[in-house]
Structure 1
Amino acid sequence: MSRKVIVTAALTGAIHTPGMSPHLPVTPEQIIAEGRRAAQAGAAILHVHARHPKTGQPDQSIAGFGRILPALKETGAVINVTTGGSPFMQVAERVAPAAHFRPELASLNMGSMNFGLYPMQARFPDLPQEWENAHLEGSRDLVFRNTFADVEHVLGACSPNGTRFEFECYDTAHLRNLRHMIDRGLVTGTPFVQTVFGLLGGIGADPEDVTLMRAVADRHLGDEYAWSVLGAGAAQLRIAAMSAAMGGHVRVGLEDSLWAGPGVLAQSAAEQIAAVGKVLDGLGLSMASPDEARGILGLKGAEDVNF
């Protein structure tokens, strides 16, 4: 049997803005449609953010997620609710939807970091809404706060509900932070580690960076973890291919990259998933189904969520 690779689709995120691509889903209807396309293309996990339907700004309200999650659950995919929200938000706001809806999976950023989006101003100089420009420029003086106390707060708010975590690690120190939480008994079971490459303020997106993060994860976590990667922007498919070849899982989606190829905007994460599928086929691998992903990650099942 071929090894099963979990493909996550990050549907919209909080990094890109509507003026960057007409295909970025903003309204609940658009996000739901995007989730359906991604699930049909083979995504086992849907990583979910909400947005204000009129402006497209990140929306971390319980009501905003309530308009999205029930319909996404109907796809059968594992629903992963963000606790990262937007880097401009504080942890109490960011964790509220995951604590309320008790999903199978929630993201959890494992350390504070500079989070530089402002270089995108050169590529998108004519964004139509003022908030979009402020969003990019404001990241020049932004620390995405994820202190030890913040991480403990998210773990304490969600773990009692049976929610497990996609531990997002943007640099090697974040892997050490995860080991620290495991040693303190705050994280149990097989951790699902999402190593993030190419965001300014975190580790780069060169092959050496991928092998370094894998080696550091092995050193701190042994062989008792599930490893996945996401590559920002143009690095998306290249990083995904490296992970698949190295025994890992992959994440794609318009949150992480707006592109389907050089200079070609992706109309949906489904295009990116199809490209990953070709890589997996070439390696003799196959995409995990949602239930196979649940088994690999030890998730509680969709019947035990609050949506």
Structure 2
Amino acid sequence: MPLAMNREVFITCAVTGSGDTAGRSDKVPVTPEAIAAAAIEAAEAGAAVAHLHVRDPETGKGARGLDLYRETVRLIRASGTDVILNLTAGMGGDITFGSVEEPLPPSPAGTDMAGATERLAHVAELRPEICTLDCGTMNFGEGDYVMTNTPAMLREMARQIQALGVRPEIEIFDTGHLVLAKWLNDQGLLDGPVLVQLCMGIPWGAPDDIGTLMAMVNNLPSDWIFSAFSIGRNQLPYAALAALAGGNVRVGLEDNLWLRKGVLASNGDLVAAACQTLEGMGAKVLGPAETRAKLKLERRA
């Protein structure tokens, strides 16, 4: 197979996520002010897209409060920084079963199930250019937590996202999720160019070995645009691997806390390292305006 390296690459920075990482690094942003500052830092370092979660400022845990999204987005937009906003729509699909002997009722700790309209309330109000759509259901961790996204839920969320004029970034955690994404596209629910994020190395999804990545890439329709990332220590190597595979790049503290062994990273550090890798390979790192043109997006004020 001939090399299909992407030589014009955009970088997404996933600045905080919702996982239990805030206690492991003081560089993980928690408050709206800190998350906005991290997104601006990432943009200044070379990221065209900022992927945003919000957190409870008191506990540091993942949250989906509309007021938190509202303030975070306001601060980024008020700064005048040109960055494409990509808000998660993954929250509200979380279920933690009671126990292996009594799975029902679900445990209140870790369970947050909401309807499609509620899950998209922040997207409807704030109208980012992109929001995520987690295209499937998957086990996480070693306990009883399941990320839950049924076909009916995804179909309705895709319908509402399309009606809002927002581009979904389809999050693919395993091969069957790609099949589901194609099903949504066949129903006319995904506007082109379809944007896909290949989320690799997350237990118990697709492992981040090269063979599995290329199997996913080779099953993407040729007119879809994709990014790929791996969690943990393989995040920065994936900046090279994703581009070599023909895709774009995601880095950030949602997926990895370390710049190198023993050195905690900031989001700006990770974006700068990805830029250095890509430019060293002869690739051009696209800015927000060039990325909008590539994805056929309209800038939002």
User: Structure 1 pair 198/87, CA: closer, same or farther in 2 (3 Å)?
Assistant: farther
- Whether 1:231 aligns to 2:230 is yes
Q: What is the identity percentage for the equivalent residue pairs of Structure 1 and Structure 2?
A: 37
- 1:10-21 equivalences in 2 (<5 Å): 10-21=14-25
Aligned residue number for residue 240 of structure 2: 241
Residue in structure 1 matching 2:195, options 192, 195, 200: 192
Tell me the CA shift for residue 211 of structure 1. Answer: 1.2
Residue in structure 1 matching 2:283, options 282, 285, 304: 285
- 1:145-164 equivalences in 2 (<5 Å): 145-164=148-167
Secondary structure, counterpart of 2:227 in structure 1: strand
Aligned residue number for residue 90 of structure 1: 113
Secondary structure, counterpart of 2:219 in structure 1: helix
Secondary structure, counterpart of 1:64 in structure 2: helix
Q: Distance in 2 between matches of 1:9 and 1:197?
A: 16
- TM-score, normalised relative to structure 1: 0.86
Residue in structure 1 matching 2:85, options 71, 79, 82: 79
Q: Contact 2:129–2:297 at 8 Å: present in 1 too?
A: yes
Residue identity in the other structure for 2:267: A
Structure 1: 5+ residue stretches without partners: 119-139
Q: Distance in 2 between matches of 1:262 and 1:154?
A: 40
Aligned residue number for residue 46 of structure 1: 50
Q: Contact 1:8–1:46 at 8 Å: present in 2 too?
A: yes
Secondary structure, counterpart of 2:269 in structure 1: helix
Q: Contact 2:88–2:132 at 8 Å: present in 1 too?
A: yes
Secondary structure, counterpart of 1:165 in structure 2: strand
The Cα offsets for residues 206-253 of structure 1, whole Å up to 9 and x where unpaired, read as: 122211211122xxx1x1111101111111012221111122100000
User: Structure 1 pair 110/91, CA: closer, same or farther in 2 (3 Å)?
Assistant: farther
Tell me the CA shift for residue 262 of structure 1. Answer: 2.1
Residue in structure 2 matching 1:6, options 4, 10, 22: 10
Q: Contact 2:56–2:62 at 8 Å: present in 1 too?
A: yes
Q: Contact 2:252–2:267 at 8 Å: present in 1 too?
A: yes
Secondary structure, counterpart of 1:185 in structure 2: coil
Structure 2: 5+ residue stretches without partners: 1-5, 95-111
Secondary structure, counterpart of 1:68 in structure 2: helix
Tell which deviates more after alignment, 79-88 or 46-55.
79-88
Q: Distance in 2 between matches of 1:213 and 1:40?
A: 31
Aligned residue number for residue 174 of structure 2: 171
Aligned residue number for residue 265 of structure 1: 264
Tell me the CA shift for residue 52 of structure 1. Answer: 1.1
Tell me the CA shift for residue 86 of structure 1. Answer: 6.3
Tell me the CA shift for residue 198 of structure 1. Answer: 0.9
Aligned residue number for residue 212 of structure 1: 215
User: Structure 1 pair 30/4, CA: closer, same or farther in 2 (3 Å)?
Assistant: same
Q: Contact 1:11–1:255 at 8 Å: present in 2 too?
A: yes
Aligned length: 275
Secondary structure, counterpart of 1:150 in structure 2: helix
Secondary structure, counterpart of 1:97 in structure 2: helix
Q: Contact 1:162–1:300 at 8 Å: present in 2 too?
A: no
Tell me the CA shift for residue 56 of structure 1. Answer: 0.8
Q: Distance in 1 between matches of 2:179 and 2:43?
A: 33
CA RMSD of aligned residues (A): 1.5
Aligned residue number for residue 102 of structure 2: none
- Whether 1:101 aligns to 2:126 is yes
The Cα offsets for residues 264-295 of structure 1, whole Å up to 9 and x where unpaired, read as: 211x1111111111211121112111011111
Query: Which structure's residues are more often helix, by fraction?
Result: 1
Tell me the CA shift for residue 300 of structure 1. Answer: 2.4
Q: Distance in 1 between matches of 2:236 and 2:271?
A: 9
Residue in structure 2 matching 1:294, options 283, 289, 292: 292
Secondary structure, counterpart of 2:55 in structure 1: coil
Aligned residue number for residue 106 of structure 2: none
Aligned residue number for residue 104 of structure 2: none
